[in-house]
Amino acid sequence: MKPPIEIGNKFKEKFTTKYRALDKSEIPENYKVLPIEYKKEEIGKYHVIFWHRLLRNLYDLPIEIECEIQDKSHQRSIDVQKVFLRKTHENNNWEAIGIDETTSIAIQAGKTKPFPVNWKYLVRLPFGGVVELATSDKNTMFYIAQLIFHGHDKKSDSREVETFINDLLGEANRLKGQLFNPMKEFERQEGIGQYLLFNVYLSNYLSAKTMLDTAETLETELQQEFLRYDARTSDLYDDEKRKHINQYMLTCGMYYCSAISFFFMALEGFINLVFHAFLKKKFRDKEYRVEQRFDLEQKLRLMSILCDGFNENKDLPAEVLLGFKKLKNYRNSLFHSKVEDSLKGLCFVEDGFVYTYEMDEYKDHFLPAHKIKLTVSDAIEVKKLVDDILYYILESMNPNTRNTTETYILKEPHIQITLLETGELAVGKSGM
């Protein structure tokens, strides 16, 4: 178990003297548990792990731990048995409650192991009342409840219960940044066994395909609205008709453009996920900051060298790099919206004659600079370029790495990452 984070002996002694943890001999008999609604929402703002750490620092181990033991029968059904471990007076010694002899022998022999799912603390209030601080729903919910037993009822203890909660929340508010900071802990990877990554590649790739499947029909509707009025006629001088023309002139092509954008975002997500999952341990050092310092092109070029499970001798084909650069440049023109990329046309006056020149005739574009000129063929071409780059990356992997990538990164909505004791990462449903 991870050592508790130091929160200050002065506070700890003051708090635990006023609110003392019960030991097993002091647990009331025949008590009922009454959930406390007082400041429930404020308590719920803190994650369960925060309360675990705070109470662990204050009172050390809980008085009781609920465990599950799974025993697979010959019929392949899973029989879940609950076992309660109660802390004794001896250090690191527990007694089992609600366990049969067969299970007890199996645990002692190491054939099965209790899996903790909930914990519980019992705390004595100054005037004799007792509160329960515990988790439920397999350690996903934290709650505070009042024990109702002979000699103490809800009415007589309500004020000191509220005082206790106010004191506890006061310290929770004071220590919230110290006891639990998920992003910093993720960056340090301290105490984290597993984490889930949302599959941005798959989300964007499926969005791109869905958009592409419907884009042609939707773009036809936009084009029909754009051509409803003729800008070469007097329609141009009708305010309402001109607004209608302008609106659809500016929106035509947006479905093709969206599909193209999603395909590029899918590619970016795929490269970043692969880079994160397989980056060699020696390059994960904070001083290198490879994942943050390298741009997408550098990651693509150096992936086979910096990542485990790749053929280092496989060169990046010129056509793959060229395709990537085309995509990157077009993506930059869309997202950065530079003036020169938005330049539509020039107007010249020569000897009294007026000439207009469309800049698309001058610029050598991979795709039209203005989305109204995009077609379904343009979106399909982008999809092919993305697929070619993905295929090259997969071809660069050894069989095990490729199988892992195809099984999880190409298919699963959430990617499970396990942090091994060696400091390396394992992708997929590996055991803790």
- The model's pLDDT over 57-116, given as tens digits with 9 standing for 90+, comes to 899 889 999 888 865 444 444 567 788 888 877 766 777 777 777 777 777 666 777 788
69, part of any domain: yes
Domain finish residue from 180, 207, 229: 180
398 token code pair: 């050894």
Q: Answer whether residue 185 shows pLDDT above 50.
A: yes
In angstroms, rounded to a whole number, what is the distance separating the alpha carbons of residues 301 and 297? 6
**Which whole number is the average pLDDT over 373-389?**
94
What is the number of domains present in the chain? 2
Q: Where are the alpha helices (DSSP H) in 337-374?
A: 339-342
189, part of any domain: no
Domain finish residue from 148, 180, 212: 180
Structural domain that includes position 20: 9-180
387, part of any domain: yes
3, part of any domain: no
35, part of any domain: yes
244, part of any domain: yes
**Which whole number is the average pLDDT over 210-227?**
90
**Could you tell me what percent of the chain has a pLDDT over 90?**
39
> Are 296 and 172 members of one domain?
no
Domain finish residue from 128, 148, 180: 180
432, part of any domain: no
> Are 16 and 150 members of one domain?
yes
> Are 104 and 63 members of one domain?
yes
Closest among 359, 98, 100, 383 to 258, alpha carbons compared: 383
> Are 281 and 165 members of one domain?
no
For the stretch 338-361, pLDDT in tens is: 655 555 556 766 766 666 666 555
pLDDT at 430: 55
> Are 172 and 209 members of one domain?
no
> Are 157 and 221 members of one domain?
no
For the stretch 106-148, pLDDT in tens is: 776 667 777 889 999 999 998 888 999 999 998 899 999 998 8
pLDDT at 29: 83
Contact 384, 260 (CB under 8 A): no
In angstroms, rounded to a whole number, what is the distance separating the alpha carbons of residues 54 and 19? 14
> Are 43 and 91 members of one domain?
yes
2, part of any domain: no
Element (H or E) spanning 138, and its range?
Answer: none
> Are 57 and 131 members of one domain?
yes
Q: Which residues contact 248 (CB under 8 A, 6 or more apart)?
A: 222, 223, 225, 226
> Are 227 and 176 members of one domain?
no
In angstroms, rounded to a whole number, what is the distance separating the alpha carbons of residues 162 and 149? 18
> Are 106 and 27 members of one domain?
yes
> Are 137 and 101 members of one domain?
yes
In angstroms, rounded to a whole number, what is the distance separating the alpha carbons of residues 93 and 90? 5
> Are 145 and 250 members of one domain?
no
- Segment 88-95 long-range contacts (CB within 8 Å, at least 24 positions apart): 88/24, 89/23, 89/24, 94/65, 95/24
Least confident of 57-71, 207-221, 308-322: 57-71
